[in-house]
A and B are shown apart, each in its own frame.
Chain A
Amino acid sequence: MARTTELEIVLINRVCAGEKELFYELISPYERSVYIAAFSVLQNEADAEEAAQEAFLKAFSHLSSFRRESKFSTWLIQIALNEARMKRRKDRKFLHQSMDDRIQDEEGDYMPRDFADWREIPSEALERAELRETLQQAIASLHPKYREVLVMRDIQNLNIAETAAALRISEASVKTRLLRARLQMRDALAPGYDGSWSIGERNWKKVRPW
């Protein structure tokens, strides 16, 4: 696994030695990662922001306990997940989700729901809020344990080992859950994001009432 960079180690040492104002410089590349980690658990902006900010404050006050041989970003993400999970446990509105977490990894194969062809959605379609919302809803519809793996791997771009470390699960579990998450995402999004199938670069054809 990649280590903490030399620049980060210099900054960490300086912050620990008293230059507290340098902490923001140290963590600013990871604002989005930490926020998204919290969002993967809490699924709403306000709660995710609060948990992310708490995580940064905790990282600030516990910086001297950071072990230099691990990766700084993974450490931050672990703290964020922890804060978010504590928040979820405390907050009654998340009660049903916490219960769901106890479900074991499902055995057996996941069958794709259909096999209809899905042509590529052009990246510029992401300029449309509608597509972004559809993707967010599809991610939100996943069971938390699948969602968290998908978020770490495909949104945060952590590798399998880093995802396992951040979520404190085995690499085998990461792979199993990632497969399930990606298949379910495909099912949730097919056929196309507005009930249409792409039939070429810019044409969308309604083929089924949605």
Chain B
Amino acid sequence: MSIIEISCVEVWRELSNYIDGAVDPDLRRRMEEHFKSCGHCTAVLDGMRNVVRLVGDDRVFELPAGFSDRLRQRLKEAAEG
């Protein structure tokens, strides 16, 4: 069965959904076929995956030191007051 080709612009529109596993099987096949022959779109895909993986790491944003202690203190005051 032949696969209908898809343009770079159409691939970019769906990249984020593709990474989230939220494109239907037919579109996924067409995108995968496109990536095989398009270095540009593969580079954008790899870069976006990299971004998602890095920003999702707990080390990027940490609670300020002492946050929990200050919060507990304020809640204690509120509960008593």
Q: Quick one: which of B55, B56, B79 contacts A21, CB cutoff 8 A?
A: B79
Chain A's nearest CB lies how many Å from the CB of B44?
Answer: 5
Say yes or no for A64: interface residue by CB 8 A criterion.
no
Say yes or no for B63: interface residue by CB 8 A criterion.
yes
Mark contacts of B44-80 with chain A using CB atoms, 8 A cut-off: 1 yes-contact digit, 0 otherwise: 1011101111111111111110011011101110110
Say yes or no for A10: interface residue by CB 8 A criterion.
no
Say whether B39 contacts A115, CB under 8 Å. Answer: yes
By secondary structure, the B interface counts as helix
Contact residues in B for A150 (Cβ distance below 8 Å): 55
Contact residues in A for B46 (Cβ distance below 8 Å): 117-120
Report how many A-B pairs have Cβ atoms within 8 Å: 128
Q: Quick one: which of B17, B54, B75 contacts A121, CB cutoff 8 A?
A: B54
Q: Quick one: which of A21, A57, A111, A115 contacts B43, CB cutoff 8 A?
A: A115
Say whether A36 contacts B61, CB under 8 Å. Answer: yes
Contact residues in B for A49 (Cβ distance below 8 Å): 64, 67, 70
Say whether B51 contacts A115, CB under 8 Å. Answer: no
Chain A's nearest CB lies how many Å from the CB of B71?
Answer: 6
Q: Which of B51, B58, B79 has the most CB of A within 10 A?
A: B51
By secondary structure, the A interface counts as helix
Say yes or no for A126: interface residue by CB 8 A criterion.
yes
Say yes or no for A45: interface residue by CB 8 A criterion.
yes
**Interface residue tally of chain A, by bracket?**
35 or more
- Known A53-B74, A121-B50, A154-B55; judge A132-B67 contact (CB<8 A): no
Contact residues in A for B47 (Cβ distance below 8 Å): 118, 186, 189-190
Say yes or no for A135: interface residue by CB 8 A criterion.
yes
Q: Quick one: which of B13, B58, B75 contacts A179, CB cutoff 8 A?
A: B13
Say whether B16 contacts A117, CB under 8 Å. Answer: no
Say yes or no for B36: interface residue by CB 8 A criterion.
no
CA A57 to CA B77, docked complex, whole Å: 10
Chain B's nearest CB lies how many Å from the CB of A22?
Answer: 10
Q: For chain A residues 12-35, which have a beta carbon within 8 Å of chain B?
A: 20-21, 23-24, 28, 31-32, 35
The chain A residues found within 8 Å of chain B, CB to CB, are 20-21, 23-24, 28, 31-32, 35-36, 39, 45, 49, 52-53, 56-57, 60-61, 109-112, 115-121, 123, 126-127, 131-132, 135-136, 139, 150, 154-155, 157, 160, 175, 178-179, 182-183, 185-186, 189-190
